[in-house]
Amino acid sequence: MTHPLLTLAEQANIESGPWFSKLSQPLRDAILSIAAVRRLHDGDVLAARGSRAEQWVGVALGAVRVGSVSLSGKQITLTYVEPGTWFGDIALFDGMPRTHDADAHGATTLLVVRGADFRLLLSQHVELYDALLRLNCRRLRLMFDAIEDLSTRPLGARLAKQILLLARSYGIDQGDEIRIGLQLAQEDIAQMLGASRQRVNQELKGFERDGAVRIEPTRLVVLSKDKLLAIASR
């Protein structure tokens, strides 16, 4: 079924999500029938660290920035949740407060399932338990991969890998190049990699000299995926 309040593009993003698309049709229909649509402007707060978990969320358009605040009061970006991705289920399962801040990055459309409705879905569709278990196993594997990369791979390799991931999630194919649609400052990228903006800037300039990317204000354009793959595998 289609959600009456989603645009065709938003519906397509939800339906084609790698996790959601593998659910049975009855479960997909049940989720869509119970989910409300919420539209956020850039910077609107979805959840604050330490707040009570009250909703399960799917991103239909835009992105959700997940981050925290350092002891010195500096905003730190950990990741961006892309269209087609669902999140928020962990805190609903364990009843603990939200672990991070979440806010809209650009104009963002969400499908929101209230906590009570989430538990109703679980009681009516045993399949959802297994599907969420597999989803969280994948998250855990990705987290271990990220920790391993941070410990063993040079910054250039991690940066190239991050750019390729952004291109896969937000890339706009323009023939000979891929423009990353997510508007990001170099500071944002540096925070995701646990590095300084200056070091990331140095690496990006090297990528640009090698013809792998083109740096634009708040944008990156991938000129050669093969060159980035070669850097990422170092």
Predicted pLDDT of residue 217: 85
Encode pLDDT of 126-166 as tens digits.
Answer: 999 999 999 999 999 998 998 888 889 999 999 999 999 99
pTM score of the predicted model: 0.87
Arithmetic mean of pLDDT over the chain: 93
Element (H, E) at 172: strand 171-173
pLDDT in tens, 25-37: 999 999 999 999 9
Is the model's pLDDT at 70 over the cut of 80? no
Last residue of a domain, one of 150, 169, 196: 150
**Amino acid identity for residue 101 in this structure:** D
- State the pLDDT confidence band at 68, using cuts at 50, 70 and 90: confident
Domain boundary among 150, 166, 201: 150
For residues 123 and 171, membership in a common domain is answered with: no
In angstroms, rounded to a whole number, what is the distance separating the alpha carbons of residues 127 and 220?
A: 40
Let me know whether 48 and 111 are in one domain: yes
- Residue 86 included in any domain: yes
Q: Specify whether 105 is located in the same domain as 78.
A: yes
DSSP 199-231: HHHHHHHHHHHTTSEEEETTEEEES-HHHHHHH
The domain tally of the chain equals 2
Nearest Cα to Cα of residue 207 among 189, 225, 183, 191: 225
